[in-house]
Structure 1
Amino acid sequence: MPTIQCHGAELYYEDHGGGDPIVFLHGATAGLRYFEPQLAGLSNEYRTLAVDFRGHGRSEKTELGHTLSQYARDVHEFLLQLDLDDVVIAGWSMGAIVSWEYIRQFGIDRVRAMVDVDMEPSPMKRDDYDYGSYGRDDLEQAINQVQTDPLGLLDEQATAMLKEKPSRELRNLILDEGSRTPPAIQGTLMFGLLYLHDYRDVLRSIDVPALVCAGADEKWRSVESVEHTAELLPESRFELFEDSGHCITIEEPERFNQILGEFISSL
Structure 2
Amino acid sequence: MTTARVNGIALHYQEAGTGEPLLLLHGLGSRSDDWEMQLPAFAGRYRVIAPDLRGHGRSAKPPGPYSVPMMAADVLGLLDHLNVTAAHVVGLSMGGMIAFQLAVDCPARVRSLTIVNSGPALVARTVGEWLRVQQRLLLARFSGPTRTGHFLSRRLFPKPEQEALRAQFIERWSANDPAAYLASLRALVGWSVLERVGEITCPVLVISGDRDYTPVETKRAYTALIPRARLVIVEDSGHATPIDQAERFNASVLEFLSGS
The yes-or-no answer on 1:214 pairing with 2:213 is no
Partners of 1:30 and 1:174 within 8 A in 2: no
CA RMSD of aligned residues (A): 1.9
SS in 2 for 1:232: coil
| Deviation at residue 166 of structure 1 after TM alignment | 6.6
Q: Which residue of 2 aligns with 1:238?
A: 231
Partners of 1:28 and 1:186 within 8 A in 2: yes
The yes-or-no answer on 1:257 pairing with 2:256 is no
Deviates more, 1:138-147 or 1:25-34: 138-147
CA–CA distance in 1 between the matches of 2:31 and 2:53?
8
What's the % identity of the aligned pairs? 27
1:160-194 deviations in whole A, cap 9, x for unaligned?
12363473432233223322332222222222312
CA–CA distance in 2 between the matches of 1:225 and 1:165?
29
**1:48-127 aligned within 5 A:** 48-64=48-64, 66-105=66-105, 107-126=106-125
TM-score normalised by length of structure 1: 0.90
| Deviation at residue 21 of structure 1 after TM alignment | 1.4
| Deviation at residue 65 of structure 1 after TM alignment | 5.7
The yes-or-no answer on 1:223 pairing with 2:216 is yes
Shift in alpha-carbon separation, 1:242–1:91, aligned structure 2, 3 A: same
TM-score normalised by length of structure 2: 0.92
Question: Which runs of 5 or more structure 1 residues have no equivalent in the other structure?
Answer: none
Shift in alpha-carbon separation, 1:165–1:4, aligned structure 2, 3 A: farther
CA–CA distance in 1 between the matches of 2:8 and 2:164?
34
CA–CA distance in 1 between the matches of 2:35 and 2:237?
15
Partners of 1:18 and 1:48 within 8 A in 2: yes
Partners of 1:18 and 1:46 within 8 A in 2: yes
**1:172-183 aligned within 5 A:** 172-183=167-178
Partners of 1:162 and 1:244 within 8 A in 2: no
CA–CA distance in 2 between the matches of 1:4 and 1:168?
35
Equivalent pairs, count: 259
Q: Which residue of 2 aligns with 1:205?
A: 199
Question: Which runs of 5 or more structure 2 residues have no equivalent in the other structure?
Answer: none
1:6-40 deviations in whole A, cap 9, x for unaligned?
11211111110111111000111111122111111
SS in 2 for 1:180: coil
Partners of 2:209 and 2:234 within 8 A in 1: yes
CA–CA distance in 1 between the matches of 2:65 and 2:139?
22
- After TM superposition, the runs of 4+ consecutive aligned structure 1 residues lying more than 4 A away are none
CA–CA distance in 2 between the matches of 1:223 and 1:62?
35
